[in-house]
Amino acid sequence: MIRISFLLLFLVSISLNAQNNAIGFGEKLTYTASYNMSGILTDLAEVTMETSAVKTSKTTLLRLKCKATTYSKWDNFFKIRDLYESYVNPKTLKPYLYNRDINEGGYYKNMKYTFSHKTKTVKTVQRKKSNWVQKKTVPIGADTKDIISTLYTIRTFDLTNLSSGTSKDFTILFDREEIKAKVTYLGKETISTALGTKTCYKISLGSTNSNTVNGTLWLTADENKIPVYGKFKIPVGTGELKIKSASGLKN
């Protein structure tokens, strides 16, 4: 019983603390994505995560943009030019509009979500090569977000007083389907990065259903909570994401 009440207290405190004090306008994080096999690293792509202010006639929104581009040596073999962006409320990171434009080795897909939080629906438009268009409206839950705003939302949680093993569930809308994901806090760890030696919060990302861990992220244990290092499971070897540079941080 005490455990349950603590859990409830934690969930309440998490929802109270889910205000954005970590992400500001004009932040730019650059990463190197590499493939690690038996300790031998091969650089694959550059990943950038940017935020900027978008002013409409009514309000100001936060634009979250993630871009993945393969390094020139890969372009002739498997060229990737992926762009994900989400226009969100700067304070709560609630998404209003989401764009995904992917070009992976000749495969092209564009997906647009327009969120309507009042009616709890998302209007989706999917485009593929040769002007193939499909429109669909899908119902969503109250806390469903797109993948980009979910990634940024993780940074807004107050992790200072958490005990390791505490987890939080998310619902992500991806490919017009709601996916349940789980983020688990694993404790603090000090790692060396391109930005210097940093004390980090270590968190794992996984699916709620299968209890498998798909990736581990290290967020700096300061106000900004920027992801400095990530490890992801792939069929052979591991994928790694290492920070190269960070600018325009809020704190």
Identify residue 130 by its one-letter amino acid code.
Answer: S
Hey, is 149 helix, strand or coil?
helix
Give the per-residue contact string, 17-56, with another protein (x = CB under 8 A; - = no).
-------xxx-----x--x-xx-xxxx--x------xx-x
Instruction: Show the tokens assigned to 157.
Output: 């949680």
Residue 22 CB, shortest distance to another protein, in Å, is 11
* 194: enclosing H helix or E strand: none
Give 112 or 188: the residue with its C-beta nearer to another protein: 112
Question: What is the C-alpha to C-alpha distance for residues 216 and 149, in angstroms, rounded to an integer?
Answer: 18
Query: How far is it, in rounded angstroms, from Cα 79 to Cα 86?
Result: 23
Strands 60-70 and 40-55: antiparallel
For 12, list phi and psi in degrees, rounded to 5. Answer: -65, -45
Counting residues that bind another protein (by CB under 8 A) gives 48
- Determine which residue in the list 29, 49, 66, 90 makes contact with another protein, applying CB under 8 A: 90
- Minimum distance between the CB of residue 161 and another protein, rounded to whole angstroms? 23
List for the chain the helix, strand, coil content (%; round to 5). Answer: 10, 60, 30
Short-list 240, 163, 228, CA closest to 199: 228
**Min dist. Cβ of residue 222 to another protein (A):** 17
CB of 210 to another protein, least distance (A): 30
CA distance 229 to 128: 33
Q: How many CB atoms lie within 10 A of CB 227?
A: 22
* Minimum gap (Å) between residue 149 Cβ and another protein: 14
Nearer to another protein among residue 99 and residue 238 (C-beta): 99
Piece in contact with another protein (CB under 8 A), picked from 71-79, 188-196, 215-223, 227-235: 71-79
Residue list 177-196, contact with another protein (CB under 8 A): none
H-run or E-run covering 75: helix 72-75
Please identify which residue in 13, 109, 114, 172 interacts with another protein, judged by CB under 8 A: 114
Chain positions contacting another protein, by CB under 8 A:
24-26, 32, 35, 37-38, 40-43, 46, 53-54, 56-61, 63, 65, 67, 69-75, 77, 79, 81, 83, 85, 87, 89-91, 96-97, 99, 101, 103, 114, 118, 248, 250
